[in-house]
Amino acid sequence: MNVLIINCGSSTLKFKVMETRHDTPSCHERILAGGIIDRIGGQGEIRFKTEDGEDLREVREVKDYEIASDIMFDWIESIGLMKPGGIEAVGHRVVHGGYRFVEPAIIDDEVIDAIEAMRNIAPLHNDPSLKAIRSARARLGPHFPMVAVFDTAFHCNMPESASRYAIPIELADKHRIRRYGFHGLAHRFMAERYAIITERPLKELRLVTLQLGNGCSATAIDGGRSVDTSMGFTPLEGLMMGTRSGDVDPHLPGFLARHEGVDIEEVEDWLNRRSGLLGVSGHSNDMRELLGKKSKGDLRASLAVEIFCYRAKKQIGAYFAAIGGADAVIFGGGIGENSPEVRARICAGMEWCGLALDEDINAGTIGSENRISKDSARIHVYVIPVDEEAVIVRDTVLCLHIINRHLRR
């Protein structure tokens, strides 16, 4: 079965057309084509490629996700994959499943309405995916098999001690306020991949996974289940990120609104788009650039990197306490996969608990899967490049397989 996977981020649309060998969850995937449209909302950077090397590279205005989807579908058509025998199903990543979606769902009108209705708790998160879903339906027809896979689903069974905020329970329940957690596909991928690499049952493992990209989060995984995660009601909570502050004193937004004479939306915008690495360094949200500046003695860049690493280290310690130690700490995401310096800083001084990096292996591991801890270390440290699309394709195929079996009965 050929499945088109569409993964909309905050300013990107990524896609892959994957051939799965069997219509079962144990499928192996071959990537027939794929690509990314970066910087949606401005001068979009288009980079598409087929497995035979046929490609499209272009910079042009891409106003929104509808236009991005059209560009993607036009290209897929041009390489012959819209014909019979081309795409047979579509899997969409949807960021927020809210209180309703705890597993993948076949997309129909009712599911689209339900995702739309989630707007009250997730005003920004699902719009890009909804646009892509609507474009795909307009292109392929309303009965074309499509599945939504939710980033929040992995965290939906966290214990209440981790998922609830200490606010009046009536208010929390009235507004469906809980710690939903995000990046679920990434954390799940790292955990499942670690189990495969080490040939150990996921059920026996305690893991701390770190997804460190533009958005950053950590998850404590016990027996294959997420038992706590650092993002909360929104992806603003937790670790310091590219432009997001992560945790601040909850009093701060009100304080800033009053003392700066702005409304609360403005403060939320500061915390979401002007804080984190960008806000502290005053220069960039890009870790690579900050490491460069830091090596030239830029004090604010150094401070930004220091806070970033300290927060991540503190979170690892908290999760060791939550799950009683760990078999492994796993790094993923653009920073986690590519920056030996950040990984070394985060793991420094943790020998006391059995976590020690092999300096040379860490330094030599950039963008590849590897164990970077010392042979003698009690806690493994791994770099596992995250492949969210692999999770989406498996969930899509499994979901369609279950429904088909059900219909055949």
Of the candidates 24, 20, 25, 50, the one whose C-alpha atom is nearest the C-alpha of residue 35 is: 50
Q: Is the dihedral of CA 323, 168, 247, 349 positive or negative?
A: negative
Nearest approach, Cβ of 370 to ligand ADP (angstroms)?
15
Of the candidates 182, 234, 248, the one whose C-alpha atom is nearest the C-alpha of residue 211 is: 182
Nearest approach, Cβ of 284 to ligand ADP (angstroms)?
8
- Based on the shown chain and the rule CB under 6 A, indicate whether residue 312 belongs to the binding site for ligand ADP: no
Among 19, 23, 45, 286, binds ligand ADP (CB under 6 A): 286
The token pair that represents 26 in the structure block: 């144990």
Q: Which residue in the shown chain puts its C-beta closest to ligand ADP?
A: 334
Question: Can you tell me which residue has the tokens 């035979």?
Answer: 52
Nearest approach, Cβ of 44 to ligand ADP (angstroms)?
15
- Based on the shown chain and the rule CB under 6 A, indicate whether residue 234 belongs to the binding site for ligand ADP: no
Between residues 213 and 232, which has the closer beta carbon with respect to ligand ADP? 213
- Based on the shown chain and the rule CB under 6 A, indicate whether residue 217 belongs to the binding site for ligand ADP: no
Distance CA 148, CA 201 (A): 27
Of the candidates 234, 229, 215, 318, the one whose C-alpha atom is nearest the C-alpha of residue 275 is: 215
Nearest approach, Cβ of 335 to ligand ADP (angstroms)?
4
Distance CA 122, CA 72 (A): 26
- Based on the shown chain and the rule CB under 6 A, indicate whether residue 236 belongs to the binding site for ligand ADP: no
Among 128, 213, 232, 238, binds ligand ADP (CB under 6 A): 213
Of the candidates 28, 107, 183, 8, the one whose C-alpha atom is nearest the C-alpha of residue 399 is: 107
Nearest approach, Cβ of 242 to ligand ADP (angstroms)?
6
Which position among 151, 222, 228, 298 bears the catalytic label? 151
Distance CA 355, CA 380 (A): 7
Kindly report the length of the chain: 409
Among 7, 9, 13, 16, binds ligand ADP (CB under 6 A): 9
Contact (CB, 8 A) for 375 and 403: no
Nearest approach, Cβ of 141 to ligand ADP (angstroms)?
31
End-to-end Cα distance, the chain: 22
Between residues 2 and 10, which has the closer beta carbon with respect to ligand ADP? 10
- Based on the shown chain and the rule CB under 6 A, indicate whether residue 288 belongs to the binding site for ligand ADP: yes
- Segment lying near ligand ADP (by CB under 6 A), choices 172-180, 197-205, 281-289, 370-378: 281-289
Of the candidates 275, 391, 278, the one whose C-alpha atom is nearest the C-alpha of residue 20 is: 391
Among 129, 234, 338, 396, binds ligand ADP (CB under 6 A): 338
- Based on the shown chain and the rule CB under 6 A, indicate whether residue 242 belongs to the binding site for ligand ADP: yes
- Segment lying near ligand ADP (by CB under 6 A), choices 25-33, 88-96, 196-204, 331-339: 331-339
Contact (CB, 8 A) for 57 and 74: no
- Segment lying near ligand ADP (by CB under 6 A), choices 76-84, 131-139, 207-215, 352-360: 207-215
Question: Can you tell me which residue has the tokens 């209180």?
Answer: 99
Question: Can you tell me which residue has the tokens 């394709």?
Answer: 393
The token pair that represents 291 in the structure block: 């490491």
- Catalytic site residue 109? no
Scanning residues 81 to 100, which ones bind ligand ADP (CB under 6 A)?
none
- Based on the shown chain and the rule CB under 6 A, indicate whether residue 333 belongs to the binding site for ligand ADP: yes
Q: Is the dihedral of CA 245, 246, 249, 255 positive or negative?
A: positive
Nearest approach, Cβ of 329 to ligand ADP (angstroms)?
18
Distance CA 386, CA 332 (A): 6
- Based on the shown chain and the rule CB under 6 A, indicate whether residue 209 belongs to the binding site for ligand ADP: no
Among 191, 335, 347, 372, binds ligand ADP (CB under 6 A): 335
- Based on the shown chain and the rule CB under 6 A, indicate whether residue 215 belongs to the binding site for ligand ADP: yes
- Based on the shown chain and the rule CB under 6 A, indicate whether residue 181 belongs to the binding site for ligand ADP: no
**Total site size for ligand ADP, rule CB under 6 A:** 14
In this structure, how many other beta carbons lie within 10 angstroms of the beta carbon of residue 164? Answer: 15
Distance CA 70, CA 209 (A): 35
* Interface with ligand ADP (CB under 6 A): 9, 213-215, 242, 286-288, 291, 333-335, 338-339
- Show which residues are catalytic: 151
